[in-house]
Amino acid sequence: LRWVAGLGIVAADPMATPNFYAGLVLDRMAERRRDDEFILGLLAVPTTCIVPVWRGFNLIGTDSEPRAVFVTAGQWRPGGEVTFLGMAGTTAYFATDLSSLDQREAEARLAGIGQFVDLRSVGPVIDRQSGALLAYARGLAHWHARHRFCGACGAPTVSRAAGHVRACANPACAIEHFPRTDPAVIMLVTHHDQCFLARNRRFPGGMHSTLAGFVEPGESLEDAVAREVREEAGIAVGDVTYRSSQPWPFPASIMLGFRAEATATAFALDADELESGAWFTRAELRAPRQADSFRLPRPDSIARRLIEDWVAEG
């Protein structure tokens, strides 16, 4: 690890440290998901942990430092659908979605245990493994909520394979739907000793970040990188190099991080998306700045990582 002024501690080897929300050490036991007896047996174990999700929020204990808190199956036998997340050692983890409860009911249900908050509000400060587990639970809860009906025929779907499949209940259709994860490319555009950062119109005040966008059907990741950089900033890129990836279930993405070397520094912003953009040197990014006029992306984002890794190289 290495200290970089203005950025804080950055990893010496960018590949060695997983990104936030990645690197979860959990045996997902995919091969047992359709074994109902095994799954029901785990739910009957009093120490089995339930990870509640409510309308996209995760349960966080706030008695001292923010931390992930769980309900045990001994305290509270889940009533609705549950999703088997996996086992850490001898402890099984299941997610359950309480979104059908109103806010008062949901808070009452978990009173004394924790509060429901947006994972991104605590992601950078809770321990990495907890953050990754909560992200996994949040992602699956969102998928279930968006796939209660079959897209092919409109009939209701039912949870199968311990929550990793939703099967169409219409016997004439009977399609199995699997969890959805949307691949998005995110890339630090560089030109020799400068990198390009921009402000999306939706960004919080002062924040500058890398370009990013969803991969479309019929594209490789590299195709998507080149298209997004051209569309958003009017920049042509040559070398496109993969760096690392990050689950980003806000609500359903995986971020695929690249570095892309521009062929020239001229740019033309897509004014519908971006309000400003500029080239920055490493020295400029290291210099202390007014937080209200220039901020880097959130510390748990792969955008931040892409920028920090590049700054640390020079």
Query: What stretch of H or E contains 261?
Result: strand 253-262
The half-sphere exposure of 80 on its side-chain side, counting CA atoms within 13 A, is 15
Smaller CB separation from a second copy, 159 or 181:
181
Helix (H, G, I), strand (E, B) or coil at 127: coil
Apex 295 CA angle, 197 and 302, nearest 5: 65
Question: Should residue 149 be labelled a site residue for a second copy when binding is judged by CB under 8 A?
Answer: yes
Interface stretch with a second copy, choices 16-24, 38-46, 47-55, 203-211 (CB under 8 A): 16-24
Alpha-carbon 160 to chain mean position: 24
Instruction: Extract the tokens encoding 92.
Output: 């099984």
**Taking CB under 8 A as the rule, does residue 13 contact a second copy?**
no
Torsion sign, CA atoms 62, 64, 65, 71: negative
Report the distance separating Cα 64 and Cα 193, nearest Å. 44
In whole angstroms, the minimum distance from the beta carbon of 141 to a second copy comes to 10
Select 13 or 292, whichever has its Cβ closest to a second copy. 13
Angle at 105 between CA 101 and CA 106, to 5 degrees: 70
Q: Binding a second copy by CB under 8 A: which of 107, 223, 261, 284?
A: 223
Piece of 46-54, 119-127, 237-245, 291-299 that binds a second copy (CB under 8 A): 237-245
Q: What angle do CA 96, 102, 106 make, to 5 degrees?
A: 50
Least Å distance between CB 9 and a second copy? 21
Which residue lies nearer to a second copy by CB, 72 or 241? 241
Length of the chain: 314
**Any contact of residue 201 with a second copy (CB under 8 A)?**
no
Is 270 a residue that touches a second copy (CB under 8 A)? Answer: yes
- State the sign of the Cα–Cα–Cα–Cα dihedral 144, 142, 21, 232: positive
Nearest distance from residue 76's CB to a second copy, in Å? 23
Among 146, 289, 295, 298, binds a second copy (CB under 8 A): 146
For the bound state, the minimum distance from the C-beta of residue 224 to a second copy, rounded and expressed in Å, comes to 9
CA distance 219 to 264: 24
For residues 258 and 184, give the distance between their C-alpha atoms in angstroms, rounded to a whole number: 11
Pick the closer one to a second copy by CB: 198 or 215. 215
The correct pick among 18, 78, 206, 299 for binding a second copy (CB under 8 A) is: 18
Q: Is 56 in the site for a second copy (CB under 8 A)?
A: no
Q: Which residues bind a second copy (CB under 8 A)?
A: 18-19, 21-24, 28, 30-31, 132-133, 135-137, 139-140, 143, 145-157, 164, 175, 177-183, 214-223, 227, 231, 242, 244-247, 249, 252, 254, 256, 270, 272
